[in-house]
């Protein structure tokens, strides 16, 4: 499997079966969203909610499949932390782009 248009990179697709508590929560949210939008959930959609899928270009020799889910969960927590910082610090309204100016404001 490859990703990319200009440069084709080899990648891996990894799927994990989720614990029942997570699956139930995902199904609950999907049902609520479907009701809100006036749609019906198919059995196929409910079945897909039992899994988490990850696509990575990291070779299997560096990160085995068993580690990918943990790494991606940690990465997501870092992303949420940065999003929170950006929101709290109002980085979208900072004036100036020089590193010294940004450090001074922070």
Task: Write down the domain spans for the chain.
Answer: 1-57, 65-106
- The Cα 51–Cα 19 span in angstroms is 9
Instruction: Say what the pLDDT of residue 87 is.
Output: 84
pLDDT at 74 over 90: yes
Q: What is the pTM of this model?
A: 0.66
Sequence-separated (6 or more) residues with CB below 8 Å from residue 71: 63
Express as a percent the part of the chain with pLDDT over 90.
53
* pLDDT tens digit sequence for 31-57: 999 999 999 999 999 999 999 999 998
Provide the 3-class DSSP secondary structure of residue 103: helix
Closest by CA to 56, choosing from 77, 72, 74, 36, is 72
Instruction: Say what the pLDDT of residue 88 is.
Output: 84
Beta-carbon count within 10 A of 39 CB: 10
User: The tokens 């749609």 sit on which residue?
Assistant: 39
Determine contact, residues 69/19, Cβ cutoff 8 Å. no
pLDDT at 28 over 80: yes
HSE on the CB side for 15, CA within 13 Å?
Answer: 5
- The overall average pLDDT reported for the chain is 88
pLDDT at 93 over 80: no
Beta-carbon count within 10 A of 37 CB: 7
Maximum separation of any 2 CA atoms in the chain, in Å: 56
């Amino acid at each position: 499997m490859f990703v990319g248009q200009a440069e084709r990179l080899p990648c891996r697709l990894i799927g994990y079966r989720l614990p029942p508590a997570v699956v139930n929560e995902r199904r609950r949210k999907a049902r609520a969203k479907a009701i809100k939008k006036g749609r019906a959930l198919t059995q196929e959609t409910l079945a897909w909610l039992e899994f988490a899928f990850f696509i990575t270009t990291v070779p299997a020799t560096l990160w085995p499949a068993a580690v990918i889910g943990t790494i991606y969960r940690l990465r997501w927590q870092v992303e949420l932390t940065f999003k929170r910082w950006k929101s709290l610090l109002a980085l979208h309204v900072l004036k100036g782009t020089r590193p010294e100016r940004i450090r001074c404001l922070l």
